[in-house]
Amino acid sequence: MANVVIAVDGTAASGKGTIAKKLAQHFGFHHLDSGSLYRLVALGVSEAKGDPNDESDALKAAQAIDPSKASDPRIRSAEIGRLASQVSVFPKVRAALLEYQRAFARRAPGAVIDGRDIGTIVCPDAQAKLFVDARPDIRARRRWLELKSYGDGRSEPAILAELRERDMRDAARAVAPMKPAKDAALLDTSELDIDAAFKAALALVERSLTSPPKG
């Protein structure tokens, strides 16, 4: 049987990362947080004092990233999240990160990848696709709690405004915009805690794996 790929796309702070990690644990698959790749590009641009709105500065950083540095806590800041959204609009940056993601998807026995364009562009043949979302106020609360744990004292309204701006940029870009694949199952986690969100995601994935989505 072909390598199994589970694509978990969705909005910022929707819970997609936690869900993806738990799905990977459940199935014994590898997990890739593709957003961390764009965040590493953003950190590279920032450290090189480059311009995040300049495609060649962003491309230079994309060609130099080391995906094994994805656990660097510096990439989790709100500032790097915003810069990641900016550098990710550039087609050359996206192209530079594509092969790494596709090679990751081929890792046996399977891979769970979360991001914005996994079900649409990176792995259109994924056997299971989820698109995770939640109400913006709920996502802002979650991100506020997460950032607080990193020592970031930003207010909740400021975080809500940033999330809205980021969603708009991610959904409006010309190349690989954030959107549900036609064959993705939609999951709204607004009223769900982590356990309930995981259970709902698992049920959707199991349904897809027994009758895979068609292009």
Task: List all residues 6 or more positions away from 46 whose beta carbon is below 8 Å from its beta carbon.
Answer: 52, 79, 80, 83
Among 14, 46, 77, 85, binds ligand DC (CB under 6 A): 85
Among 18, 77, 88, 189, binds ligand DC (CB under 6 A): 88
Among 81, 119, 136, 213, binds ligand DC (CB under 6 A): 81
Contact 118, 9 (CB under 8 A): yes
Binding to ligand DC by CB under 6 A, coded x per residue (else -) over 107-146, reads --------xxxx----------------------------
DSSP 121: I
Q: How far is the CB of 132 from ligand DC (least distance, A)?
A: 11
Contact 127, 6 (CB under 8 A): yes
Q: How far is the CB of 193 from ligand DC (least distance, A)?
A: 20
Core vs surface per residue 171-185: b (16+ CB within 10 A) or e: eebeebebebbebbb
Q: In what order do the strands lie in the sheet with 110-115?
A: 30-33, 110-115, 4-10, 128-133, 185-188
Among 22, 129, 139, 166, binds ligand DC (CB under 6 A): 166
Rounded to 5 degrees, φ, ψ at 59 are: -65, -45
Check residue 18 for interaction with ligand DC (CB under 6 A).
no
Q: How far is the CB of 140 from ligand DC (least distance, A)?
A: 13
- Interacting residue ranges for ligand DC, rule: CB under 6 A: 12, 34-35, 38-39, 81, 84-85, 88, 115-118, 166, 170
